Chain A
Amino acid sequence: MNRIVKAFQDNRRKKLIGFLTGGDPDLATTKELILEMAASGMDIIEIGIPFSDPAAEGPIIERANIRGIASRTTVDHLFEMVAELRKELQIPILFMTYANLIFAYGKERFMKNCEASGIDGIIVPDLPLEEMGEFKEACQKHGVIQISMLAPTSTARIEKIVAEAEGFLYCVSSLGVTGMRENLATSIAPLIEKIGSVVPCAIGFGISTPKQAKEMSQLADGVIIGSAIVAIIEKHGKKSPGPMGEFIKEIRKEMDTDA
């Protein structure tokens, strides 16, 4: 069974999903960070493949993409790293990548390497429902789950999106690009309520504090934290695994404490 599906079957705690950009600041640190994430209470890990034009990202993750490209990290390096990590790690791992990186690599070859290295799914922010057919066959052939996204503007599309959803539904908290938001308006909540238990829902975009993580996790099956983690990596560079681990533990603790 796919590790993502399995993770959501275990409902003892709300899922904490963490994002980092591969090769930021370098590949060795990325590997350490992933091990630290798993040890600090993360349930699922998303690795962003650095891209020249990350059009869905706010400034924090955009800068991480620039650092990832500067460290000359390619998807081949990331496949190797994940294969290496799989010797000791069973946590679900996904790639967060723009469509062009898969398309240029060759979709069949990309998904084959995902399967071989132990990547469980892909999140492609520039692939809405209408274009998900692009990689569908290759994904299915190699058991790679393609995560669907739901936005506050998806009201008229919700049924079609849910019908195609696998693994979990990535629910975008609010309009705009990725990035920390001081005031997190939860315009996505009514949509998640409609979905019920058909598919697990995780909320992302803007969640940066333990308090926000707890509030959002109460609306869904999990939360996704990206920019807040990347901001720590940006600040501490190669020395970031320690402080990042502390941050994740704080969030984990807050989420697991009964209100």
Chain B
Amino acid sequence: MTKFGEFGGQYIPETLMQTIAELTEAYEFYREDEEFQRELKDLYDNYAGRPSRLYEAKQMSQQLGGAKIYLKREDLNHTGSHKINNVLGQVLLAKKMGKRRIIAETGAGQHGVAAATVAALLGLECQVFMGYEDTQRQALNVFRMELLGATVTPVMSGSRTLKDAVNAALKEWVSRIDDTHYVIGSVVGPAPFPRMVRDFQKIIGEEIKEQVLEKEGKLPTAIVACLGGGSNAMGAFYPFLEDKEVRLIGCEAAGHGVETDKHAATLTKGSVGILHGMKSYFCQDGYGQITEVHSISAGLDYPGVGPEHALLFEEKRAEYVAVTDDEAVEAFYYLSRTEGIIPAIESAHAVAHAMKIAPLMQADEVLVINLSGRGDKDVAAIARYKGVQIHE
């Protein structure tokens, strides 16, 4: 129940076990509760703006030659990414459980912004932990969270990125479990989080299926999604797991290249280990020390991956590839100029891989890119990457 094959589990301090048991019980109850599901659907549709569009990228399809390309527009959700799907579910659940405060970790800031937003909506206190490096890379999102009434705590330990923000949030939770729920932002952490977050994100894949069937009368040939912890990928893949003919492709961050030590390609280069409450794949050395990872994208800059992805990887049900910083930036520009859509630098990793495989596919094949977020937050970082000085 807590595992995906050998992966997953509950590798957490004893102090948290009771609260995790209560969370599991509440989740099992509310996932079957019609009123909860009705409230959640109302929030999805009327607050987040679901269903998100499935947009046919005609220029891109034509230029690349080959597959017919569709973009699943999670970037059009309220707060600008798929993260809102999970946060609405978890914060609604936390409220039902009588919690008055939520905490969250964030990398790029998208999950933190979503958490701060929903906390404001549902009237809960919110504290967001963010690696110091990321607060610098994504300064605008820090201000955005504060604007929404959240407290942002910069994390100074370790590599000062997403991994360390998770550590800090876990430490805060273990100190204050009575009134606080930890809204984990991806399909990671101890059970029930990986399954619960996947369930709140599977709406993406359910909509893709319905929309592609409606437009094309058949299932897509392939779905491409970027992958840090793996929540947008898991949400897009899950409803297709039994449709074996659909290729599912996750794109990890190769940073400067998987042959260097500056990447975050966990499945491509990592090995099985135990961290953040789960057994999964991690970037680590021979002694089990977690290694520092690198990606231009703060949201993919994580040394682990969700346990269900680890299982799909070992079962070969999904394929996992690595995309470099340079390729992602090129795709960031390409989509902006070809379709007039600025993708999040995370999502640009998926766009980059789609650009590689689309020309190799047939004209009657359908390729869906999960455009997990919008790129407004990345504009300043891309300018820096290109050596452009911007004064806001």
Contacts and interface: CB of A to CB of B under 8 A. Distances in A.
B110 to A, nearest CB: 23
B149 interface: no
B29 interface: no
A104 interface: yes
A154 B11 CA distance: 16
Interface residues of B, number: 39
B165 to A, nearest CB: 12
B277 A56 contact: no
A172 B287 contact: no
A151 B13 contact: yes
A78 B247 CA distance: 48
Interface in B256-315: 271-277, 279, 282, 284, 286-291
Nearest to A63: B157
Contacts of A221: none
A126 B17 contact: no
Contacts of A52: 158, 289-291
Interface string A124-166: 0111111100000000000000000111111111000100000
Contact of A74 (B14, B157, B163, B287): B287
Nearest to B17: A128
B170 interface: yes
A29 B284 CA distance: 28
Contacts, number: 113
A114 to B, nearest CB: 16
A100 B273 contact: yes
B284 A104 contact: yes
Interface string A30-50: 000000000000000000000
Given A100-B275, A177-B175, A172 B288 contact: no
Contacts of B291: 52
B64 interface: no
B9 interface: yes
A209 B214 CA distance: 70
Given A126-B13, A128-B14, A149-B14, A53 B158 contact: yes
24 contacts: A51-B288, A52-B158, A53-B167, A56-B174, A74-B287, A100-B290, A103-B274, A104-B284, A104-B286, A104-B287, A105-B288, A126-B11, A126-B277, A127-B11, A130-B10, A149-B13, A149-B14, A152-B15, A153-B16, A153-B19, A154-B17, A172-B13, A175-B15, A177-B174
Given A98-B274, A128-B10, A131-B9, 19 more contacts: A51-B289, A52-B291, A55-B170, A74-B287, A100-B290, A103-B272, A103-B279, A104-B286, A104-B288, A126-B12, A126-B13, A128-B11, A128-B12, A151-B13, A153-B17, A154-B14, A161-B14, A172-B15, A175-B174
Interface of A: 51-53, 55-56, 58, 62, 69, 74-75, 98-105, 125-131, 149-157, 161, 172, 175-177
